[in-house]
Amino acid sequence: MDITIPAPQTEIADPAEQSFDIVARQDKAETDIAGLRSDVDEVKARLDKVSRAASRPAIGGAVVSEEVKGFIDGYLRRGRETEVKSINGATPADGGFAVPQKIDAMIARELTDMSPIRSIAQVVQTGTSGYRKLVATGGTASGWVSETAARPETGTPNFAEIAPPSGDLYANPAASQAMLDDAAFDLESWLANEIAIEFGRAEGSAFVNGTGSDQPAGFLTAPTSTAEDGVRAFGDVQYIGSGNATGFDSAPEEKLIDLIHALKSGHRQGASFVMNSATLASVRKLKTADGAFLWQPGMVEGQPDRLLGYPVVEAEDMPDVAAGEFPVAFGNFRHGYLIAEHSATRVLRDPFSNKPFVHFYATKRVGGQVLDSNAIKLLKIEA
């Protein structure tokens, strides 16, 4: 008996898969994609139906589908069967813990009054705290002689030594390591910037009113005299009286002009007025006898406003107009005041001394003193 063994059956492949016809294969792919989209649309429609049914209250006697009932029981009901609670960010236990707090990376700060004295004074970098500077105070003499006459000895120059008193500015804020790790902004850089701003405020105040004891000596704390240049002692600053015990005289322009021309012409090149904003408000209202304002606003952008032809620098550390005060200074501070700083601000990051806190110990050594007392003049409120 002949036994016929059937040939093994092979899976019939999709003709489109075996075809090299690119158009046919593309048509098949588009058909498959359309089928998938239909399935996705069906799933979305069912979810929308469940969502709408869950959001409206059931009317008495209404039949709730098993699908909707399962959604409500599984996701919205807590505690009693009829109690439905919302997930919200107002209450921490109801979801507030899951809502991240958004903190602006730029921290706003109150504006600090910064003294501009550094920008108009002479600044030198020193390598040691014992900085000294010699100032020639005159004494050199000359004479006329004939061609064959003897040359007698002339006077030799006199010198004065300037040693600006200095002190160490320091700050030592601390932050926990966890705060440094978890803060939403760069806390370390922010602290460094805050220290720099505070150092600028503190040193600016000392350049005006510093006592000279472990800090710079301010130009307002230097000895004062009404004597003219060449008569008063070196280091004493000349002042002009206002002519009124409590404010400006009836002819304020005359006193201000006297103040300007008490300064030698060589110092007047680059000189400026220095006063605070309250004094400046009073000065801007001053008029001459014929009604013209002494104040001259800048006519070109970037150019400073001027008082009697000279720029005005606002320094909030200057005193207000009051009896016995020096509310207005006029001078060439590049010639008249010296700032000596040992180095830039140094910051030591110390995570060991007070664990778990990290200290940022910042120091800066700076000194200051009147350099040439002839280059600065003051207006004093007195009769």
Q: What is the rounded CA–CA span in Å between residue 41 and residue 45?
A: 6
CA distance 281 to 303: 19
What phi and psi values does residue 120 have, to the nearest 5 degrees? Answer: -110, -10
Q: What is the predicted pLDDT for the residue at 303? A: 73
Q: How many residues would you count in the chain?
A: 383
Residue 43: the pLDDT is 77
Say whether the peptide bond before residue 304 is cis (omega within 30 degrees of 0).
no
The pLDDT score that the predictor gives to residue 98 is 52
Q: Could you tell me the domains of the chain? A: 117-138+156-380 (3.30.2400.10)
pLDDT for 63: 59
- Tens place of pLDDT per residue across the chain (383 aa): 445 455 555 444 555 555 556 767 777 778 888 878 888 888 788 777 777 766 665 555 555 566 556 655 655 554 444 444 455 455 666 555 555 555 445 445 555 567 789 889 999 888 776 778 777 777 677 888 888 898 888 877 777 777 888 888 888 888 887 777 766 567 777 777 888 888 888 989 999 999 999 999 999 999 999 999 988 888 999 999 998 888 888 788 889 999 999 999 989 999 999 999 999 998 888 887 777 788 877 666 667 778 988 999 999 999 999 999 999 999 999 999 999 988 777 888 888 888 888 888 888 889 999 999 999 999 999 98
Give strand pairing partners of 340.
124, 367
Cβ-Cβ contacts under 8 Å for 32 (sequence gap 6 or more):
none
In this predicted structure, what is the pLDDT of residue 79?
45
- Counting Cα atoms < 13 Å in the Cβ hemisphere of 354 gives 12
Count CB-CB contacts under 10 A for residue 273: 23
Can you tell me which residue has the tokens 């200051």? 368
Give me the pLDDT at residue 106, please: 46
| Residues 6+ positions from 101 with CB-CB distance below 8 Å | 184
On whether the pTM is more than 0.85, the answer is no
Q: Give the separation between CA 211 and CA 213, rounded to whole angstroms.
A: 5
Output the six-digit token pair for 299.
């006519």
Residue 176 has a pLDDT of 82
